[in-house]
């Protein structure tokens, strides 16, 4: 159920990126897609009532932790994905600003010099 | 000599970080560093031919750590990337004289090469995504490098669709991790073979297909390519059309479909998948070429031909997959895949050469609209010769390289029992020929317009780069005809694809 909601969020982002006419909204749509995927990754690793995945000698048996603890790997993946999306977001926003300086508008229906 | 695999990623990355420290005054030093790096990578990729290797990053054994895998398919792509990027870099020496911000350009160029080498070597799905993003972001910036109206518009369009594609791919990676608990391709592949969850597997596969097809600009995902590729500076167009869409799109698609998911007669979705690949291939071939014929902008025409030629590659691979999925003879499957992969490297060479000649014409005349040109055959003799060779190669005229790979694809289609596919292939080839005859007619023959009287040939590094690629166009047929070359360069790549999920076992065995 939660996964379906996550996919719905992804689809909302995709809709926003492909249908909206304003450049800034398109960028926001892509950011929403990125968040949807990040939430999906976090949910995959999450266990209800789970504990921190730290093995300490007295209690921590590997078998027990692997079943009950929260999976740390997706969290590392999400960190990496956030850094990457920061890079691409910075580039996208700077292209938006440059385009606004050239054309004087954010409306992509008026930014149409390339055709055919 | 045994080259450590991380060098392919680390050397261009280090050079890309050093270069922005040089300002506008030391253009020669930064050019020398960048060209030296590319020459070094070229040598390394030749030395790495015929080697099977796995490198464990930080000595963490798989599946806990990240691994870099060098096998037949990776070697072939690594060599292609380094040949094309070496030629484009040499071409840049003279071509980039008009531009400011040279060190930033070179730095982004090397970052793109870093990303592509990483994609080709990575044996880990998430790592593949990271390198794919490095190459993509560098290419978005390079498309918008001129910062004029058209460049910014093309860059934005490319960036939106490229980011959407990346998110599809990351979604697929996340789903595979959720199902199998692994990110390493070999372990994911093994876990998938025993998997009983059918619907999520197909869903993840659909996500990957959509993402990689967007990156490879297959019809109907092609809308960004004809804008993005012409907007970049000519050497970058050569890189984008020559290798970027192949490493990020086709290579990654083939790796994931054949080596991770596995195409086999036991899995009933294999046949549907093969037909899907064939459909994408035929659509790209036909629609791409018919859109190309009507173009008057030389670079835009070439960009549409890239879509069409990528269709050939996907068609060849799709026929191979179909033969495997139907349980047919592996010899014919090998022929089809060989045709696809050989066309991939041939297209890398002749399409980058065509983009370089378009850059040469643009530098000499200041225009790339075919209607403004004319009579350049005497003014630009070298550009004319190399452009004619590359046009003959893309149209599939013997003895140039494009002929051999198209011949293989046609033969494979006939033997697989789909004569209509062979007929479409030949027809598209004919239309390609017509469209390049138009280029020859309008750019090089006819009367010289008055404003082009003082045009001179571009000497120096531009002619060296074009000459190098033109020689390759003529000689690459030998890769198929000389058995020794075929067994060292082409056959390992075909076997990697053909063996499919044996990749998992090989990788795990090699990393011990």
Identify the pLDDT of residue B322.
93
A110 lies in some domain: no
Tell me if chain B has a CB within 8 Å of the CB of A84: yes
Nearest CA in chain B to A20: B160
Number of domains within chain B: 1
- What ipTM, to 2 d.p.? 0.92
Interchain pair A91, B160: CB under 8 A: no
Which residues of B are less than 8 Å from A30 in CB distance? 160, 163-164, 167
B396: left (phi over 0), alpha (psi -120 to 50) or beta: left
Element (H, E) at B140: helix B125-143
Element (H, E) at B54: strand B53-56
Mutate to test the interface with A, among B140, B170, B200 (most CBs of A within 10 A): B170
The token pair at B435 is: 């469209």
Q: Is B342 helix (H, G, I), strand (E, B) or coil?
A: helix
For A91, which of B140, B170, B226 is closest by C-beta distance?
A: B140
B398 lies in some domain: yes
The token pair at B447 is: 């009367």
Q: Is the pLDDT of residue B251 over 50?
A: yes
Average pLDDT over residues B361-366: 90
Using 50, 70 and 90 to split pLDDT, how confident is the model at B25? confident
A67 lies in some domain: yes
Residue B182 DSSP code: -
Tell me if chain A has a CB within 8 Å of the CB of B163: yes
Tell me if chain B has a CB within 8 Å of the CB of A40: yes
Cβ pair B403, B396 in contact under 8 A = yes
What are all long-range contacts of B67-71, with beta carbons under 8 Å and residues at least 24 apart?
Answer: B67/B123, B67/B124, B67/B184, B67/B507, B67/B511, B68/B5, B68/B6, B68/B9, B68/B121, B68/B122, B68/B123, B69/B121, B69/B122, B69/B123, B69/B185, B69/B507, B69/B510, B70/B5, B70/B121, B71/B492, B71/B496, B71/B503, B71/B506, B71/B507
Nearest CA in chain A to B183: A73
Identify the pLDDT of residue B308.
95
A94 lies in some domain: yes
Which residues of B are less than 8 Å from A14 in CB distance? 164
B486: how many CB neighbours lie within 10 A of its CB?
16
Identify the pLDDT of residue A67.
62
Q: Which of B235, B221, B183 is nearest to B204 (CA)?
A: B183
Q: What radius of gyration, in Å, describes the C-alpha atoms of chain B?
A: 22
**Cα angle: B122, vertex A87, B233; to 5 degrees:** 80
Tell me if chain A has a CB within 8 Å of the CB of B178: yes
Virtual torsion, Cα B398, B402, B405, B407, nearest 10 deg: -40
In this structure, of B47-56, B210-219, B346-355, the range with the lowest mean pLDDT score is B47-56
A22 lies in some domain: yes
B275: how many CB neighbours lie within 10 A of its CB?
14
d(CA B139, CA A51): 42
Q: Say what percent of chain B tops pLDDT 70.
A: 99
* CB burial of residue B50 (10 Å; 0-12, 13-18, 19+): exposed
Tell me if chain A has a CB within 8 Å of the CB of B362: no
Which residues of A are less than 8 Å from B130 in CB distance? 80, 84
Which residues of A are less than 8 Å from B210 in CB distance? none
d(CA B441, CA B375): 9
B313 lies in some domain: yes
Average pLDDT over residues B384-395: 94
Identify the pLDDT of residue B237.
95
Identify the pLDDT of residue A63.
47
First-to-final CA distance of chain B: 21
Mutate to test the interface with A, among B114, B140, B156, B295 (most CBs of A within 10 A): B156
CA distance A99 to chain B (A): 6
Nearest CA in chain B to A83: B130
Using 50, 70 and 90 to split pLDDT, how confident is the model at A77? very high
B252 lies in some domain: no
Per the document, the length of chain A is 116
d(CA B229, CA B358): 12
Which residues of B are less than 8 Å from A112 in CB distance? 153
Identify the pLDDT of residue A57.
61
Interchain pair A91, B141: CB under 8 A: yes
Domain range enclosing A90: 12-48+60-103
Interchain pair B170, A37: CB under 8 A: yes
A36 lies in some domain: yes
d(CA B284, CA A23): 29
Tell me if chain A has a CB within 8 Å of the CB of B226: yes
Residue B184 DSSP code: B
In this structure, of B124-138, B182-196, B392-406, B471-485, the range with the lowest mean pLDDT score is B182-196
Q: Is the pLDDT of residue A115 over 70?
A: no
Average pLDDT over residues B186-214: 88
Q: Is A67 helix (H, G, I), strand (E, B) or coil?
A: helix
Average pLDDT over residues B256-270: 87
B160 lies in some domain: no
Interchain pair B156, A102: CB under 8 A: no
Q: Is A57 helix (H, G, I), strand (E, B) or coil?
A: coil
Tell me if chain B has a CB within 8 Å of the CB of A114: yes
Measured N-to-C along each axis, helices B149-180 and A73-103 cross at an angle, to the nearest 10 degrees, of 170
Q: What share of chain A is helix, strand, coil (3-state, %, to 5)?
A: 70, 5, 30
B233 lies in some domain: no
Average pLDDT over residues B399-415: 93
B73 lies in some domain: no
Identify the pLDDT of residue B60.
87
The token pair at B439 is: 């280029």
Q: Is B168 helix (H, G, I), strand (E, B) or coil?
A: helix
Identify the pLDDT of residue B70.
93
Q: What is the mean pLDDT of chain B?
A: 91
Q: Is A106 helix (H, G, I), strand (E, B) or coil?
A: coil
Which residues of B are less than 8 Å from A18 in CB distance? 164
Element (H, E) at B56: strand B53-56
Domain range enclosing B329: 265-481
Which is more confidently placed, B458 or B326? B326
pLDDT digits (tens, 9 = 90+) for A17-74: 999 999 999 999 999 999 999 999 999 888 877 777 766 665 555 545 556 778 888 9
Number of domains within chain A: 1
Reduced 3-state DSSP string for B212-267? HHHHHCCCCCCCCHHHHHHHCCHHHHHHHHHHHHHHHHHHHHHHHHHHHHCCCCCC
A116 lies in some domain: no
Instruction: Report cis status (omega within 30 of 0) of the bond before B63.
Output: yes
For B156, which of A33, A74, A95 is closest by C-beta distance?
A: A95
Please enumerate in sequence order all residues whose Cβ is within 8 A of that of B84, keeping only pairs 6 or more positions apart, or say none.
B238, B239, B242, B243, B348, B349, B352
């Amino acid at each position: 159920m939660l996964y379906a909601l996550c996919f719905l969020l992804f689809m909302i982002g995709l809709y926003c990126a492909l249908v909206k006419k304003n450049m800034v909204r398109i960028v926001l749509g892509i950011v929403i897609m990125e968040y949807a995927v990040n939430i999906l990754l976090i949910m995959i690793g999450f266990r209800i009532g789970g504990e921190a995945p730290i093995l300490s000698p007295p209690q921590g048996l590997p078998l027990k932790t692997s079943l009950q603890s929260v999976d740390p790997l997706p969290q590392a993946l999400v960190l990496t994905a956030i850094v990457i999306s920061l890079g691409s977001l910075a580039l996208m926003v700077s292209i938006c600003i440059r385009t606004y300086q050239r054309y004087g508008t954010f409306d992509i229906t008026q930014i149409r010099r390339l055709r055919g | 000599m045994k080259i450590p695999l991380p060098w392919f990623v680390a050397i261009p990355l280090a050079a890309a970080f050093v270069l922005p420290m040089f300002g506008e005054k030391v253009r020669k030093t930064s050019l020398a560093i960048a060209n030296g790096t590319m020459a070094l990578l070229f040598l390394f990729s030749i030395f790495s031919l015929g080697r099977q290797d796995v490198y464990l990053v930080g000595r963490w054994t798989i599946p806990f750590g990240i691994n870099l895998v060098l096998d037949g398919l990776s070697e072939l792509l690594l060599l292609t990337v380094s040949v094309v990027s070496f030629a484009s870099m040499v071409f840049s020496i003279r071509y980039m004289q008009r531009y400011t911000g040279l060190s930033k350009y070179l730095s982004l160029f090397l970052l793109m090469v870093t990303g592509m080498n990483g994609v080709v070597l990575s044996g880990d799905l998430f790592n593949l995504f990271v390198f794919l993003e490095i190459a993509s972001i560098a290419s978005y910036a390079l498309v918008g490098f001129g910062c004029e109206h058209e460049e910014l518009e093309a860059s934005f369009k490319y960036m939106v669709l490229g980011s959407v594609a990346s998110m599809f791919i990351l979604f697929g990676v996340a789903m595979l991790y959720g199902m199998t608990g692994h990110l390493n391709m070999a372990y994911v592949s093994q876990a998938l073979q025993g998997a009983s969850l059918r619907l999520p597997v197909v869903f993840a596969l659909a996500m990957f297909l959509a993402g990689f097809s967007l990156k490879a600009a297959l019809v109907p995902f092609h809308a960004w390519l004809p804008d993005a590729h012409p907007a970049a500076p000519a050497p970058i167009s050569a890189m984008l059309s020559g290798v970027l869409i192949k490493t990020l799109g086709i290579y990654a698609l083939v790796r994931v479909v054949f080596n991770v998911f596995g195409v086999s007669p036991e899995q009933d979705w294999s046949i549907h998948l093969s037909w899907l690949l064939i459909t994408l291939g035929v659509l790209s071939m036909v629609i791409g070429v018919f859109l190309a014929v009507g173009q008057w902008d030389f670079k835009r025409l070439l960009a549409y031909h890239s879509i069409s030629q990528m269709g050939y590659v996907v068609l060849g691979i799709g026929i191979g997959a179909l033969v495997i999925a139907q349980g047919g003879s592996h010899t014919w499957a090998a022929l089809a895949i060989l045709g696809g992969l050989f066309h991939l490297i041939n297209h890398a060479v002749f399409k980058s050469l065509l983009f370089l000649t378009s850059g040469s014409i643009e530098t000499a005349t200041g225009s790339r609209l075919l209607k403004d040109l004319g009579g350049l055959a005497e003014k630009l003799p070298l550009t004319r010769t190399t452009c004619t060779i590359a046009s003959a190669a893309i149209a599939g005229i013997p003895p140039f390289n494009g002929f051999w790979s198209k011949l293989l694809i046609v033969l494979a289609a006939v033997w697989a029992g789909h004569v209509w596919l062979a007929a479409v292939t030949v027809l598209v080839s004919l239309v390609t020929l017509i469209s390049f005859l138009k280029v020859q007619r309008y750019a090089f023959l006819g009367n010289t317009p008055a404003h082009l009287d003082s045009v001179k040939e571009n000497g120096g590094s531009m002619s060296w780069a074009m000459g190098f690629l033109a020689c390759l166009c003529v000689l690459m047929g030998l890769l198929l005809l000389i058995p020794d070359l075929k067994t060292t360069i082409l056959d390992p790549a075909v076997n990697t694809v053909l063996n499919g999920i044996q990749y998992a076992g090989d990788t795990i065995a090699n990393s011990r």
